[in-house]
Amino acid sequence: MKKRVILGLIISLNILALANCQNTDKNPANNGDDDIPVPEGYTLFWNDEFSGTEIDLTKWEHEVNAQGGGNNELQYYTDRPVNSFIENGKLIIQALKETYTGAEGTRDYTSARLRTAKKGDWKYGRFEIKAKLPYGQGLWPAIWMLPTDWIYGGWAASGEIDIMELIGHQPNKVYGTLHYGGAYPNNVHSGDFYTLAEGNFNDNFHVFTLDWDETSFKWYVDGVFYQEQTEWSTEGHDYPAPFDQFFHLLLNVAVGGNWPGNPDASTVFPQRMEVDYVRVFKKTGK
């Protein structure tokens, strides 16, 4: 009897291990929140409701650098609590105007950039993020994705997925973009934008959604569809490369840079991106 129990346990563990190996997604971390609305045809796979008192470092890690993001940005990304923290059930990413010196030099602005790499990595799914955005000349909040393993080469040959970007002097408009093609400077991009009928994205929280499957990307704001992309490429590889690999999420607020321009006398600091939740859904049965 004892041998049968042990054998049965071993078989059960092997079946469980096999099931986990066959899962096409890395690092599942469903919080088990039964009251979260789930879109029809999907299951909740990974989420963070920011309901604790500190950032969950089993799901997120900070990038600490002053490299300018390849865009001549001005901020020093830190892991200090003054730049990223939990407040009233929200993740706060806060950009400050301050002189800060770190291992990579001195900068006049600080902010934070968080990512889920190796803690939450996905190939396909529905990504839903509810956030209130900063505003002002030179601010550049982003909710986006990068490849976890750069299979096809350096940026942007391995792809980039921008779920939401806003440049602070256009506070009522957000952009959704794909980057692909060859490695810089042979990269290309395609995308569109969504403009609020009234008000700005710093006035209230809005839900930014991306649906990604094998052959398409669809973008939504507050449930309103505004673009679909079905065509892309990367040098030397067949479609649907580069978007057939695992990607992870990033949340950040950049300051300055080639696209938004630098802050000026009109820019008010501190500026915050407040994130109410991040949810990742998978199609049922996949």
Q: Which residue bears the tokens 């990595």? A: 121
Whether 160 is a known active-site residue: answer yes
Q: Strands 75-77 and 105-111: what pairing?
A: parallel
Q: 228: how many CB neighbours lie within 10 A of its CB? A: 11
- DSSP for 134-195, please give it: --STTEEEEEEEEESS-TT-STTTT-EEEEEE--TTSTTEEEEEEEEESSTTSEEEEEEEEE
Q: Answer yes or no: 274 catalytic.
A: no
- d(CA 27, CA 121) in angstroms, rounded, equals 7
Among residues 40, 54, 87, 160, the one annotated as catalytic is 160
DSSP state of 36: S
Which is the catalytic residue, given 49, 73, 104, 165? 165
Strand stretches in 19-119, DSSP E: 42-48, 61-62, 75-77, 84-87, 90-102, 105-111, 113-115
Please give the positions annotated as active site.
160, 165
